[in-house]
Structure 1
Amino acid sequence: MENQEFNPYQNQQNDNFVIQQNLPNSTPVLIMGILSILGCCFYGVGVIFGIIGIVLTNKDMKLYNANPSQYKGLSTLNTGKILCIIGLILSAISLIITIYIFAIYGYDNYQNDMLEWSMRMQQDSM
């Protein structure tokens, strides 16, 4: 009886060795998802990162669906996609609130209110 070691890259169907590659955009999609969540605090900048992440996700999903045994990293890709969607939603809400505030108060009134608020906070802390 031979001593056979387990090889995760061996395809059980035809005894050929299949070397799996990471999906090319799985890590960038994850980074775009994180940046889209962080970017929602900056006047909806996260929308840009979220859209880029979703476009890259769609490219990789087509690549993965064409040959699933050749690629790994699908869980990273799905996590990045979920983060991109959350970032898009949060950024859209932030952008809508910002537009609403500027429409109601106007930019100058908003700046004056923020200046008064910061002066009151400084006085209260002394």
Structure 2
Amino acid sequence: METHEQQTQFQNFQVQRPLPNATAVLVLGILGIVLACCYGGGLILSIIALVLYGKDNNLYVASPELYTEASLKNAKAGRVCAIIGLSVSILYIIFIAVLIALVGVAGLSNPEAIRHAFGK
């Protein structure tokens, strides 16, 4: 027969579960790196991953005993990947903007070279 103390301990026992978006954060972070050079695809996925990480981190900070530490580590790894993907995406967009600006300035200064390059 169980004592009152054992019943109370059993009632207080809660099974730890993974954070709800930990896997999604990790996958989106990795895809953010992979798609960094796809004209904003990596940028969007990285931002979504960072937002989901923020929600999961708030859940974990509020009650860490409810969630597994492994899922927190997955979420943190996803955050790192998302930050890398975000950085590379921003650098790529800046590179493309500078490239377009340079080609545009070159075209304005010598329109005949542009016509010759495109065969017209």
2:17 aligned residue:
21
Aligned residues: 96
State how far apart, in whole Å, the 1-side matches of 2:102 and 2:38 are: 19
Q: Distance in 1 between matches of 2:38 and 2:60?
A: 34
> What is the aligned-residue RMSD (CA, Å)?
1.8
What is aligned with 1:86? Answer: 84
After superposition, what is the alpha-carbon deviation per residue over 1:78-126, rounded to whole angstroms, capped at 9, x for unaligned? 00000000000000000100111011114xx7xxx9xx8xxxxxxxxxx
Q: For residue 63 of structure 2, what is the aligned residue in structure 1?
A: 67
Structure 1, unaligned stretches of length 5 or more? 1-13, 117-126
- 1:36 corresponding residue in structure 2: 32
Aligned-partner Cα distance in 2 for 1:29–1:98: 27
Calculate the TM-score normalised by the size of structure 1.
0.70
Identity of aligned residues (%): 41
Instruction: Work out the CA distance in 2 between the residues paired with 1:44 and 1:101.
Output: 16
Q: Which AA in structure 1 matches 2:34?
A: L
- Counterpart CA distance in 2 for 1:29 and 1:87 is 12
Aligned residue in 2 for 1:50: 46
Letter in 1 for 2:97: I
With structure 2 as the length reference, what TM-score do the two structures score?
0.74
Q: Determine which structure has the larger helix proportion and give its number.
A: 2
Cα offset, 1:43, TM superposition: 2.1
Determine the C-alpha separation between the residues in 2 that align with 1:52 and 1:44.
12
Secondary structure in structure 2 of the residue aligned to 1:21: coil
Which AA in structure 2 matches 1:77?
Answer: A
Note the C-alpha offset of 1:17.
2.6
Runs of 4+ with >2 A deviation: 14-18
